[in-house]
Amino acid sequence: MVSTKISLSGIDMDNPIIPASGTFGYGYEYAELYNINILGSFSFKGTTKDPRFGNPTPRIAECMGGMINSVGLQNPGIDKVIKEELPKLKECFYKPVIANISGFSKEEYVHCCKLIDKEEQVGIIEVNISCPNVKKGGMSFGTTPESAAEITRAVKEVTRKPVYMKLSPNVANIAEIAIACEDAGADGISLINTLLGMRIDLKSKAPVIANKMGGFSGSAIFPVALRMVYQVYEAVDIPIIGMGGVSSAEDVIEMIMAGATGVQIGAANLVDPYICKKIIEDLPRVMKKYNIDKLENIIGGAHR
């Protein structure tokens, strides 16, 4: 019998399947469709210090092999998430959850991470450093090793739980930034966030999305995500959660062989809300097909 079990920073999981932040809400909507406790964990909606309505509409555009979004971190804010969303989540999900935290300044990241670190059900804090740094003209925190390390050090000073830094792929050297995060104390790395893309409406001759550009996700970005996970695995000694275009059990196996321990499913949830359930059910079949007894034995297997 095959084993799909993995362990992330001391947290044992039945399988590596983790719905990605922004595609699974706070879990309870999906719990109406199936028992979400079959998941390894899930990363809840990106949370900021203050409530955010998000970007102007239209903010979604379809494209070949994926979609572009510019939702803009719409969320009720950290206080309401802790007071209202987490209690509702606890009623339908009994495992440690991943808290995705975003911010527009170092102080915001510190504030949110300090608060969420106290929540019993949170197992891992995933820090999204793809947000624009408003104090430095809007450049993403994750685009330079120095700024990535600065945020990592700041949140590690106020947290006890494992901190995974979620990296942007819109950089020249992803491994260099991962190394900076590890050196600053990160417990793990999550990658990749969305690529930057756009669509133009031929009739109006204007960008489809109100913000002109947005995050490109979906199956088309899988080879890019796989390559970056592979590169980061060779550069750091901390666990990796891989994501980006994953939509099948075969994709999950590839991600793990590239170096991921956990695997997040993002845009595919918006196409098929049962996709994570289907992948979990299909994993044993694919493992048997390729003579894999234990997933933990093939982490980074493509490097050997």
- Tell whether the model's pLDDT for residue 133 goes beyond 70: no
What pLDDT was estimated at residue 43?
A: 98
- Tell whether the model's pLDDT for residue 160 goes beyond 70: yes
Known catalytic membership, residue 63: no
pLDDT per residue as tens digits for the range 214-264: 999 999 999 999 999 999 999 999 999 999 999 999 999 999 999 999 999
Q: What percent of the chain has pLDDT over 90?
A: 92
Kindly list the distances between the CA atom of residue 5 and the CA atoms of 74, 136, 233, 252, 298, in Å, as whole numbers in the listed order: 33, 42, 20, 13, 12
Confidence class for position 279, pLDDT limits 50, 70, 90: very high
- Tell whether the model's pLDDT for residue 172 goes beyond 50: yes
The domain limits of the chain are: 6-303
- The torsion angles phi and psi of 216, rounded to 5 degrees, stand at -90, 125
Q: What percent of the chain has pLDDT over 70?
A: 97
pTM comes to 0.96
Superfamily of domain 6-303, CATH level 4 = Aldolase class I (3.20.20.70)
What pLDDT was estimated at residue 135?
A: 58
What pLDDT was estimated at residue 136?
A: 57
What pLDDT was estimated at residue 190?
A: 98
> For 73-84, what is the mean pLDDT?
96
- Tell whether the model's pLDDT for residue 138 goes beyond 50: no
The whole-angstrom separation of Cα 72 and Cα 83 is 22
Average pLDDT, the chain: 95
- Tell whether the model's pLDDT for residue 68 goes beyond 60: yes
What pLDDT was estimated at residue 277?
A: 98
Residue from 112, 113, 131, 181 carrying the catalytic annotation: 131
Confidence class for position 61, pLDDT limits 50, 70, 90: very high
